[in-house]
Amino acid sequence: MKNSKSESYAAAGVDITAGYKAVELMKKHIARTKNEGCLDDVGGFGGCFGLNMAGMEEPVLVSGTDGCGTKVKMAILMDKHDTIGIDAVAMCVNDIICCGAKPLFFLDYIACGKNVPEKIAAIVSGVAEGCVQSGAALIGGETAEHPGMMPVEDYDLAGFAVGIVDKKKILDNTRMAKGDVVIALASSGVHSNGFSLCRKVFDIDNNPASLYEAKEELGGKSIAQTLLTPTRIYVKSVLALLEKVDVKGISHITGGGFYENIPRSIPKGLSAKIEKSAVKVLPIFDLIAKTGNIPERDMYNTYNMGVGMSIVVPAAEVDTALEILRANGEDAYVIGEIIEGDDGVVFC
């Protein structure tokens, strides 16, 4: 890359040499994510990954793609860019683990108004941390400088993950039955959904200074710090659970909250009866509801409310499931059961 430099392109707003520097700065972070499937270094035209399919009868690749939504705006406002990448990975790998698939690798895409190598490297450091937490390798990505399309300080982040599962082990909710139990895995906060409503409720665009005031109800943290808390990654805990327990369904609670996501893992003719008093609602959600005068139903139809993932298991295996999940660092607890009906979710 020593001879690659265009003064004309730089004058138009794109500094290709900044891209080269960003790649050099991020390599140490990417190195942390290498696993047995990695075949080459970042910098080529494609990321290569060797599949180990030993012990699998019918290996199936499972993919997921997502971004961080307007949570990126929070990172930009706070000028803190080293955790938003965790969210990008989490939104993808938490989805594919719902099928029972083990993440293999991840690729990211960063679009920015101006390529500041140190900022890009900080973003990728978060992506790398998310990959380490999920066991996925970061095998490539793209940073695109878009002058004129967004302010120079702005950027957007997205990515996709690929995982693998033996076909016979893909989670099949057709075996779900009345009396099965719904287990909650606690979230770390708002995760990466509902931030447009957060911005409206707290008037973030017009009054950003209020974000930095310490709030007693948030344990002394500011709204900004609390909202920027990275999405929890559940992959390793769930993989451990799948080895020992007959898991019948998993839902990643993202946009649409309880009402949209829990029914996605439940077959027709059955519904999840959720005991509302059992849900450990995090203080940030109480603050959002109070400040914005948001109806309770809208809260449960927008946010995770403190439950980042729900898992359905047979009643006879609840104790074993809770023991495994807690041993793997999860705050896991029972929030309901499967009942007959086509309501999707019923609160009691």
Question: pLDDT (tens digit, 9 = 90+) per residue, 179-227?
Answer: 999 999 999 999 999 999 999 999 988 888 888 888 999 999 999 999 9
Q: Please list, residue by residue across 188-201, b when 16 or more beta carbons sit within 10 angstroms of its beta carbon and e when fewer do.
A: bbbbbbbbebbbeb
d(CA 176, CA 162): 26
Inform me whether the pLDDT recorded for 1 exceeds 80.
no
Q: What is the per-residue pLDDT for 209?
A: 85
Rounded to an integer, what is the distance from CA 298 to the centroid of its chain?
Answer: 21
d(CA 339, CA 348): 12
Q: What is the pLDDT of residues 260-299, one digit of tens each?
A: 999 999 999 999 999 999 999 999 999 999 999 999 999 9
Report which residue type is found at 39: L
Report which residue type is found at 348: C
DSSP state, residue 70 = T
209 Cβ neighbours under 8 A, 6+ residues apart:
none
Q: Give residue 42's pLDDT band: very low, low, confident or very high (50, 70, 90).
A: low
SS3 assignment, position 159: strand
Inform me whether the pLDDT recorded for 6 exceeds 60.
no
What percent of the chain is predicted at pLDDT more than 90? 80
d(CA 128, CA 111): 18
Q: Model pTM?
A: 0.93
Q: What is the per-residue pLDDT for 23?
A: 78
